[in-house]
Amino acid sequence: MSEPPCDEPLRRYAIARDGVADALVELQTLLGDDATWHGAAADREHLERTLERLRDGRFVLAVVGEFSSGKSFLLNALLRKVVHEERLGVTRIVGLLATDINPSTATITELVYAQDELATAHYADGRQERIPLDRLARFVAVGADAKLHDATTDETGSPTLVRVAVNSTFLANGFVVADTPGLASINPVHRRATLAYLPGADAVLYLIDTQQPFSAGDASFLGIVQRYIESIFIVQTKIDLWRMHDGERETWQTASTRIVAQAALHAPGVPVLPVSARDYAEGLITGDAELVAQSRFPDLLAALDASLVATTGRSRLRRAAADARSLATRVGDALAGEARAHEHDEPTLLRLRDDLAPALTIIDTAAFAAGGTLLALGATLEETIIASGAQLRADLHHRFIRAFDTADIARLRDRAKLHSIIDDTLASAVGQFAADIAELIVQRLRAAAKTAAGDVLAAGRDAGGPTELATLLTTISGERIPLTEDVATAFGADPASGAWSTDLETGLRSTIVLGALGGPAIGLVAAIAGRFAAAPYGTYMKRELLADFGAGVAADFDAELAAYVARTAAQVRSIAHRLGERIAALTDRIRGESLGAIERALSARRAGLDPPAYARRARETAKAPTARVSNTASAPARRSRSTRPATAPSFPR
């Protein structure tokens, strides 16, 4: 069997990641079990979480496309889960996931690495069910009568996600991959599930079958998604079927030129990679290296690795390095504070304690007030968002009427084209709305949180406590507010994955826009397509559509969008609350670190104990390890930047 394709970028990423992890482990030794400063346990926990996230962090790859574009087959090949099967004298390639010329995948199947293979179905109500692996193909697939693809079928009984643990080298190298149902599937549940999955995806492979035209659906989907996802590739599939010559070139190359031209128009900058998953699978099974090369699959893998390492990989390392740096500084400062307290004699400690008391009372009051400011801001922002949502709804009403009015009736009647008209209209209006919300959060909320924290610290400084307190307040004022983490958590996302790992604004915008496309847009398409389907062909025209739109269709859509806006506004309010809690909690932190250190030193003195070992250690070494950890942690993040490809790989090569 041929060697796996070049995984150089992944290897470099792994080395850089291990460098950061080593720096974090070094910090862990400073945070031993004997460390008792205020918040040491929380610091330890935070460090463990950061380490775990860094070591277990996977690149999430979503495979998307119209039905039968070859998604499931490509994934079987990628995971090397392919074998020959003889049936009725014909040899076919079969794999872990069901593949067929008919619509086949009916649910998102997430494949994760594990040595012991097993599958679990997850349901909307939180229920989970084990599925024997030999039943998997049937479980995630549509029945022979294609019931699951029928929009009228009650879908409440089917799983929202099936997670399969697979022993595969590709996954072990750091990937999680998701097979998604065909985007053009009539069943809205499928489209919703796929769109909801995307903001958490680090890369998207968008499959287009060589023999299929670049459809309006492809153009609309790519045009929208490429604004939010950094690593996106168009994969031209099944090129083995189009090797016959067409003049100088093979037919698939002509198709490639056509797809590249369309991609340049609708999704500029997105590379097109032609592959044959069949040749790759066949080459793997028979050990034919030439077939593997001819499949062009290795090119796809190399481009994918390089892009992921340069985007998600880089931002993950940067985040972990920043985390390591701030933790190192915090640990260094805490150690130094403890050490200083233990150097004082008992009368000095008692005097310091008395001096602290009035300042701490003032800080309590200031923190309570500042926390309250953020709660109030949360309520204001919620109202602002709902008001701007009302504007959006009114604006959309007119935009839809204009879009229906100017569209050809044939396009409105074609469900896939109708979908792109509605998606494009909604995405552009909601895109602006989402950008405004992102700005509100990033500008107003961040500024308010900074001001509120600043007020607490200023009150503390003005209260004129001992120098120890002033030092602590200066340390706290240099700390960063973890806004991205709070916002991602409020939206139920992982801050280190997908669009959220790009930056806060991108995470928010993609979640809000794709959520609207997976929600209100789907309802509107279903309502209009239903009207066309119910009337005899040619009797339902634009006049009827516009009348129905005014008489109820628009109102239903508007109600759904209003509910969506209200949910988003409530999420933003909850972020402000979280920040308010953080500010209010400053008082515990300041008290615990200033007064706490004095109390700990006093009881040590009274018990006739030496300063604890960690405080002794701190006196000698508090600063040096901090600097070392900080350097080690940021160096790999700097280096990994050089792995970004200068230009996106694209056909022809």
Ligand X SMILES: Nc1nc2c(ncn2[C@@H]2O[C@H](COP(=O)(O)OP(=O)(O)OP(=O)(O)O)[C@@H](O)[C@H]2O)c(=O)[nH]1
**CA 474/CA 334 separation, integer angstroms:** 13
Kindly identify the residues of this chain, within the stretch 36-75, that bind ligand X according to CB under 6 A.
65, 67-73
Under the binding rule (CB under 6 A), the answer on residue 276 touching ligand X is: yes
| Window 89-148: residues binding Mg ion (CB under 5 A) | 104-105
Alpha helices in 109-187 (DSSP H): 136-140, 169-172
Residue 271 found at the interface with ligand X (CB under 6 A): no
Taking a C-beta distance cutoff of 8 angstroms, is the pair 652, 373 a contact?
no
CB of 371 to Mg ion, least distance (A): 50
The residue (of 98 and 331) whose beta carbon lies closer to ligand X is 98
**b/e for 483-517, b at 16 or more Cβ within 10 A?**
bbbbbbebbebbbbbbbbbbebbbbbbbbbbbbbb
Looking at beta carbons only, is 181 or 611 nearer to Mg ion? 181
> Nearest-CA neighbor of 600 among 227, 343, 263, 278?
343
90 binds, among Mg ion, ligand X, none (CB under 5 to 8 A by kind): none
> Binds 50, which of ligand X, Mg ion, none (CB < 5 to 8 A, cut-off by type)?
none
Least distance to Mg ion, CB of residue 277, Å: 12
* Closest approach of ligand X to the CB of residue 191, in Å: 12
Closest CA to 27 of 334, 317, 471, 313: 334
Measured distance CA(63)–CA(268) in Å, rounded: 20
Q: With binding defined as CB under 6 A, does residue 197 bind ligand X?
A: no
Give whichever of 185 and 253 is closer to Mg ion, judged by the CB atom: 185
The answer to whether 258 and 232 have CB atoms below 8 angstroms apart is no
Contacts for 528 with CB less than 8 Å, ≥ 6 apart = 412, 418, 422, 545, 548, 549, 553
Closest approach of ligand X to the CB of residue 444, in Å: 43
103 binds ligand X (CB under 6 A): yes
**Residue 105 binds ligand X (CB under 6 A):** yes
Cis peptide before 298 (omega within 30 of 0): no
**Residue 141 or 270 with smaller CB distance to Mg ion:** 141
AA letter at 163: R
Report which of 235, 212, 211 is spatially closest to residue 222, judged by C-alpha positions. 235
Q: Which two tokens stand for residue 462?
A: 């003005």
Q: Which amino acid is at 642?
A: S
Binding site partner of 219, from Mg ion, ligand X, none, Cβ cut-off 5-8 A by kind? none
109 interacts with, out of Mg ion, ligand X, none, CB within 5 to 8 A per kind: none
Q: Which of 72, 231, 253, 276 touches Mg ion (CB under 5 A)? A: 72
Task: Give the contact letters, 203-242, x = binds to ligand X (CB under 6 A), - = no.
Answer: ----------------------------------xx-xx-
Nearer to Mg ion, 97 or 517 (CB): 97
User: Where do the H-state alpha helices sit in 440-503?
Assistant: 446-462, 467-477, 483-490, 498-502
Q: Cβ of 604: how many Cβ atoms within 10 Å?
A: 17
Instruction: Tell me the backbone φ, ψ of residue 6, rounded to 5 degrees.
Output: -55, 120
Q: Which is nearer to ligand X, 65 or 507 (CB)?
A: 65
Q: Site residues for ligand X, window 375-414 (CB under 6 A)?
A: none
Tell which positions 481-500 bind Mg ion, by CB under 5 A.
none
Contact footprint for ligand X (CB under 6 A) = 65, 67-73, 99-101, 103-105, 181-182, 237-238, 240-241, 276-278
What does the binding site for Mg ion look like in residue numbers (CB under 5 A)? 71-72, 104-105
